[in-house]
Amino acid sequence: MLGTYSQLNSDALKQKISLREVTQTQLAEFLAVNIKTVQRWVNGHVTKVKTETVQRMSDFLQCPIDEITFPEKTVRVLVKNKILDELFSKDIVRALHSTKKWDSYLNILKEFEGVPLPTDQEAQLFMHIGYIKYQLGLYRSAKRYLQKALALSRAVQDSRMTVHVLCYQSSTFLMLGEISEATQSLEQALQVLQDTPNSLLRSEVLYRQAKIHLAQNDFMMANSLLRKSIALELRTRHSPRRGISLKYIQLARLEIRRKNFSQSGKYYHRAEWHARRSNFRITEAVAHYGQALVAFHFEDASMARKHLERARQLAGGKSEIQKNQKLLQIEFIFAIREKNFALCQKILQLRYSLNRRSKLLVVNTVKMAVILERVSKGAYPARESWILTAKKYAKALSKSANQEQFRKLLRNSYEPKGQFEDILGYLIL
């Protein structure tokens, strides 16, 4: 099999060398290559470079690999060579995760549909397509592909892939509001893990179980599962730090729900540390947002602004924040705090358009709209069409305690006092 190649961004490389205040000669010596080779990279005369070399280059320049490459072009180089296995590599998926180029990656993978493939590769193909469709919010389509992947992974008796598919399937069911199906998927995953113990996979299953309990407002069970998940992952060598950071963020949110801001700040700090170590910018941004919330609670405005600015910088600015429903919810919280109700309304419109395919997220967005209406004392009313849609979805999601909370909200039994902590505790989960 041919090696993996990356498409080098010569302008970015030149800038990083300048920022690090190193010379091209020093880089050449570190990589054990000729100085003329480095010059050709910097001048853009050679852009196709082995990924292994680019990774070492990024280590020397102390920057993520995606900041000196074009990830989507990396994939296209691989497609030319028809190396399907390389398309599933962690490096490629991670690079695309950071740039959110899911559409281009999906189009490339779909070129392989209908091509005769070994069963294990076909299972991987369907799993990745399903996962990407989930990332794009195409939940029903994701569900179909993941069902195909599950059948094929079981046919080849690949327990690891089966667990991954069941985890993705669970998240998809959750977004569709199919709580019982999501729970069953994870129970099946745990059964598979009884025969093939794997601490990292078990940790992932426990984390997803915690998310289901969060959706049902079962905070005690969610807290217990999150702690077990983190403990398992910390005991595992070479565990991905992003997974740990996401779990710490969930724990921090739980503590905010309990108004234990001091402990929440500690968890957000740990999440930031792990995310920074693994160069996951969006996760690190969320951790900074959380620390800003905590700082505001303790009336440390300067620290709060510092974290807020860093979070927005990591998120990629306004245009990128507008594409991310999680970040939009956090920005909504800050806008509520600052009583910038016009901005709140814009955020809600963006978030609703992003989440139309998810019953759970639509209901959550409409809850935010109702809160805005109450806090603004009717100046910014929730759209009637949204409320009607959310009522219909809430009925379909009746097993979730979260939706019972929504129905109470519509029946005027929830009257926000306008205090930041009360609203924050209601929205943060």
Residue 8 pairs with which residues in a beta bridge?
69
How high is the pLDDT of residue 62? 86
**Could you tell me which residue, 171 or 47, shows the higher pLDDT?**
171
Distance (Å, whole) CA 292 – CA 274: 18
Q: What is the pLDDT of residues 10-46, one digit of tens each?
A: 888 888 888 888 899 999 988 988 998 898 888 877 7
User: Is residue 64 domain-resident?
Assistant: yes
Q: Are residues 77 and 117 in the same domain?
A: no
Encode pLDDT of 185-212 as tens digits: 999 999 999 877 788 889 999 999 998 8
Q: Which of 408, 410, 411, 406 is nearest to 427 (CA)?
A: 406
Instruction: Quote the number of domains for the chain.
Output: 3
Quick one: pLDDT band at residue 148, thresholds 50, 70, 90? very high
Whose tokens are 């599962």? That residue is: 225
- Please report the pLDDT score of residue 416 as a whole number: 46
Give me the residue label for tokens 């077990």.
228
Regarding pTM above 0.75, the answer is no
Question: Is 27:112 a contact under the CB 8 Å cutoff?
Answer: no
Do 72 and 147 fall within a single domain? Answer: no
- Residue 6 inside a domain? The answer is yes
Domain annotation covers residue 320: no
Mean pLDDT value across residues 385-407: 61
Which of these three, 81, 97, 120, is where a domain ends?
81
CB 223 within 8 Å of CB 251: yes
Question: Among 203, 227, 251, where does a domain finish?
Answer: 227
Range of the domain at 207: 112-227
252 within 8 A of 268, measured Cβ to Cβ: yes
